[in-house]
Structure 1
Amino acid sequence: MNTLMQIWEYVLVFVMAAIPWVEIVLVIPLAIASGLNPYWVTLIAFIGNALPILIIIAAYEKWESWRAERKRRKELAEQESVDLQPAELQSTELQSTELQSTELQSTELQSTEAQDASEEQPSKRGKRGRKIWNKYGLPGFALLAPAVTGIHLAAVMALAFKSPKRPTAIWMTTSLALWSVTMGVVSYYGLGWLDWIR
């Protein structure tokens, strides 16, 4: 029963590390503080955090092409619906639409501009991420990501900033390895130091 409980605790470390926004910075110290083996905690947390990153990187290109295809189909469908209307009906509708649009144009323009402005406002994390990206590039972004934006979001942002997949995967996993080892060592010796003080 004791062995089964230990396995369950390590599975929990893996799952918690894999969940976005629950970073290794939190999972590793808590797991080591609960008495789990620091070596296995660090390794399992690294694998749990790296696996979703690699899946995100692999799936991002397919997601982007799906979005582009969906947008293209939507525009094509809108264009076809306009083309299918009879010419007389189109001209009558066009005249009535022009009258209505001149009346509502200023109102719509203001609401559209306000909506576009609100949609284009990046989040606080997004602003920080862009600032770091502009200053340090992919290596600096990846190395600071666990502390600044979270590694999962950082991978998506790096790909959105048009970083190639392979360097993104290499830098993100390297960053995770460094952060995992650092957090494991600091947690282990930090807890040992706290025990020594008592």
Structure 2
Amino acid sequence: MIWTYFIIFILAAIPFFEVTMIVPIAIIGGMPAIPVILIAILGNLLTVALFIIFVDSIRNWRKKRKTNVETNDSKRHQRAKKIRDKYGLPGLAFIGPFFIGTHLTALLAVTFGGHA
């Protein structure tokens, strides 16, 4: 039984497989709902938190290395700012996991200026 929960934890941590797929599969497979949900959320939360910290540290490192010549925003960065201004980080945080997954949503949130 412990191995089953460990597998649920690991599978929930994998990007694009995540909680939304592993929880229904485990419950249909006969596992109790509450422990499955808690273990899957913890697995997903761990990898998302580590991912956010990693991306944020890279972004801060790049900011420190940037010179005055590179301060002009690229077209891609300007488009990202427009999207952020239109939907905001809270909108992305609530809607993103349902459509693009938690890991990609975390990357976009950190890219748009959210901090760990």
Using the size of structure 2 for normalisation, the TM-score is 0.76
Matches of 1:148 and 1:62 in 2, distance apart? 26
Structure 2 residue runs without a partner (length 5+): 68-74
> Counterpart amino acid of 2:94?
L
Identical counterparts, % of pairs: 37
Matches of 1:144 and 1:67 in 2, distance apart? 28
Structure 1 partner of 2:36: 41
Q: Counterparts in 2 of 1:78-157, with a 5 A limit?
A: 131=83, 133-157=84-108
Does residue 26 of the first structure (1) align with residue 24 of the second (2)? Answer: no
Matches of 2:34 and 2:43 in 1, distance apart? 14
- Say what the alpha-carbon RMSD is for the aligned residues: 2.5
Using the size of structure 1 for normalisation, the TM-score is 0.47
Matches of 1:49 and 1:153 in 2, distance apart? 12
**Which deviates the most, 8-17 or 56-65?**
56-65
Does residue 57 of the first structure (1) align with residue 8 of the second (2)? Answer: no
More helix by share: 1
Write out the 4+ residue segments of structure 1 that deviate beyond 3 Å after TM superposition. 65-72, 133-136
- Picking from 91, 110, 115, the partner of 1:159 is 110
Identify which of structures 1 and 2 has the higher relative contact order when contacts are C-alpha pairs closer than 8 Å and 6+ apart.
1
Aligned residues between the structures: 105
